[in-house]
Amino acid sequence: MFLLTILVFVFTTLSQIKLDEIKEVLTRSITKTEGNSSLADKLEAGSLVRSADLNTYLAFSADDSLLFNESNRTTISKGIIAINEDLVLSPPFVNDCDELYCLQSRRPFREIPSMIWRGLIGIEDIRFLSHVGFDFKAIARAVVKDIMAFGFVEGGSTITQQLAKNLFLSSEKSIWRKLKELIVAVSIEVKFEKEEIIQAYLNEVYWGVLQGINVKGFHAASILYFQKRPRDLEVYEATILVSLLKGPSFYHPIRNLERLKSRVSSVWKSLIDKNVIDSSEAIWSDDQWSKWSEGLAKLEKKGERPLYSWWLSTKIDNGPMEPFGKFVFIRGAESILAISKEKAPDTDLAVKAVVKSWSNKTDTKDYFQFYSKFERDRIIATTQERHQVGSTLKPLIYSELINLGYDLNSMVDTSEINLNLLSGKWSPQESHHVEEPEISIAEALRQSLNRPIIRLAKDVGFEKLEQKLLPKIPHLKTPLGQYPSQLLGAVEMSLEELALAYQGFFDEQCGEVGSGIINVLDDPNQTTIKRVVGKVMSQMRFFGKTGTTNGGRDNWFVFFDGRFISVIWVGQETERSGKSLPLYGSSTAFRILENYLLYRGKLFNDLHCVASLKVQSEEEL
């Protein structure tokens, strides 16, 4: 009867976990995953990149040959390098981990350093090469210890049993789960070679959390812990990885460094005693341990976390962006967001962005859409959620005023203006003192003044302007004459709606001789970013318009270079009561765009706004 019960249990277990399923799961660890060749990228000679960005990207590329060849780059300042010749970057490798916030790259057995698999066997399962899935001696030893402790304190599991548990079973501590583990382990041993089992184990095992990313497999662990490919690990570094497997959180190198050092020392001595390693191999000094831990801790700081940014970049479509540039954009966005949060602590801040081709009018699949809150729906956030747009609307409004009879050289009064509305008297204010009693429309636009645009709208007639704006600005309240603050940006739009509104604006403006309003805003030394634009960007020509709403809760930057339209928003999402935030479009959204343009590894082409360029862009895309 007992034998029959056991046979039924074995049959039931194997029917629940089919051999074909075991084969499928383990086989996925055998095939080396390569990057998508269509995502190859090129860094252009003469361009700039941040060395940390490039090294992180290369470490996760399908071909790392450029990672160790620095002859093609020159360091020009701390952390910044110049590219000396065109460099073709291999595409990023495929992230094999389907879990949230997780990195994994499954690799074949031949790429596992012998020190890692030999060390694993020496510490976890010394009779691995001879047993058939379970070790009677280890089980007997564990049973004795469990009885003495009146509980489960040691499992006696082989590497194969651990693999069976990790892939197919729960972590429940019960005799029935243990029996299932034995059955599956034996099935694996019958079906697969020892190399395949070790390969599967070291590809699937959990290796801790760094920079908010779960680490799975030896390849990702080597890169995340040591910024090295596995083949380049020193013997002591490989020993550290093996030591971490017993409890990646318990022995965390940042939070529990001394505990990890003690564990590594014990493992090191054990591997020497078992002749796995030679006693003459070099070990780390206390200074090396400290530098390593401090280096990992530095990358954990908010605004750093390059590996988190890399992981995030694998989850977002490129749109018109290049792969390396997408990673650089996300790195910059995360960094600026962290800086903004330091300026406005205890504030729910986020970053959103849309980048689209000028030539592509409606296909949202060709958009690059970014939202810093990855756990929420990125598409809804950028296409449906609306924010006050501030001064970003002024170029669109001025273009309609010019269509109604004004020109950029027309002079306009800058003095105070009062309107009697049904809601009461209203008078627009300026963000800074204006000395000139009169100013040209072009200069009023460059300075993003408020009073001139209201005065011109009043003079031309709010109703006429309203009819022009209704097709272009969704959700415009009417009659406009009773809600004139909308002309200063007190209207809400999604990032996609604003990008499409500018699509039409650029279509119209670039068809004109001289490009009109675009040329007014193409010199960063004369617009609202003149106080923050850096030396390099100040020499470039591009259309740029900032926007900042009252209290600094919505901060925008709209960019156009004749090829791409970018709309970036940094702001507060939830409760908006309380004091104003020390944030501006020029110090947040523009900074993200500036970082991307400077360090994406591409030369900057000055704005060339003509219809022929649009045709050329369409042909290239």
The model's pLDDT over 75-111, given as tens digits with 9 standing for 90+, comes to: 888 889 999 999 998 888 788 888 889 999 888 899 9
* Residue 249: C-alpha distances to residues 158, 175, 252, 256, 260 (Å): 22, 26, 5, 8, 10
The residue with tokens 């209203």 is 426
In DSSP notation, 537-579 reads: GGG---EEEEEE-GGG-EEEEEEE-SSEEEEEEEEE-S---SS
Strands (E), 52-137: 73-77, 80-83, 87-89, 102-104
Please tell me the number of Cα atoms within 13 Å of 69 on its side-chain side: 11
pLDDT at 432: 84
Least confidently predicted of 40-54, 149-163, 209-223, 312-326:
149-163
Question: What pLDDT, on a 0 to 100 scale, did the predictor assign at position 174?
Answer: 57
State the virtual CA torsion across 401, 406, 407, 409 in degrees, nearest 10: -120
Quickly state the pLDDT bin for 176 (edges 50, 70, 90): low
Give the pLDDT of residue 228.
87
In three-state secondary structure terms, 407 is coil
Average pLDDT rounded to a whole number, residues 385-391:
95
Question: Phi/psi at 426 (nearest 5 deg)?
Answer: -135, 135
Residue extents of the structural domains in the chain: 2-28+125-202, 37-89, 387-620
pLDDT of residue 593 exceeding 90: yes
* pLDDT for 426: 94
Tally the C-alpha atoms within 13 A of residue 324's C-alpha that lie toward its C-beta.
29
Reported as a single tens digit per residue, the pLDDT across 464-482 is 999 999 999 989 999 999 9
Q: What is the pLDDT of residues 253-285, one digit of tens each?
A: 999 999 999 999 999 999 999 999 998 999 999
Grade residue 487 by pLDDT with cuts at 50, 70 and 90.
Answer: very high
Q: Please identify which residue in the block is written with the tokens 């020892």.
A: 194
Please report the DSSP string for 205-268 in residue order. -EEEEETTEEEESHHHHHHHHHSS-GGG--HHHHHHHHHHTT-TTTT-TTTSHHHHHHHHHHHH
What DSSP designation does 91 have?
Answer: P
Cα distance between residue 74 and residue 71, in whole Å: 8
Share of the chain above pLDDT 70, in %: 83
- Architecture per CATH, domain 387-620, reads as 3-Layer(aba) Sandwich (3.40)
Residue 139 has pLDDT above 70, yes or no: no
Among candidate residues 348, 354, 349, the one with its CA nearest the CA of residue 329: 354
Provide the whole-model pTM. Answer: 0.86
pLDDT in tens, 533-574: 999 899 999 999 999 998 899 999 999 998 899 999 999 987
| Residue 154: CB atoms within 10 Å | 14
Distance (Å, rounded) from C-alpha 493 to C-alpha 290? 50
Q: How many CB atoms lie within 10 A of CB 398?
A: 22
- Which pLDDT value is given to residue 620? 42
Comparing CA positions, the residue from 225, 215, 301 lying closest to residue 257 is 225
Do residues 528 and 447 make contact, with C-beta atoms less than 8 angstroms apart?
yes
Q: What is the model's pLDDT at position 532?
A: 93
Q: What does the pLDDT read at residue 464?
A: 96
What CATH number has the domain spanning 2-28+125-202? 1.10.3810.10
pLDDT digits 0-9 by tens, 54-77: 988 888 887 767 766 777 888 888
Percentage, residues of the chain above pLDDT 90: 58
Pick left, alpha or beta for residue 549 (phi over 0 → left; psi -120 to 50 → alpha; otherwise beta).
beta
Report whether 287 contacts 197 (CB < 8 A): no
Is a pLDDT exceeding 90 seen at residue 324? Answer: yes
Q: Are strands 411-413 and 419-421 parallel, antiparallel or unpaired?
A: unpaired
Structure tokens at 554: 């919505």
pLDDT for the residue 131: 73
- In DSSP terms, 92 is beta-bridged to 61
Say if residues 561 and 576 touch (Cβ distance below 8 Å).
no
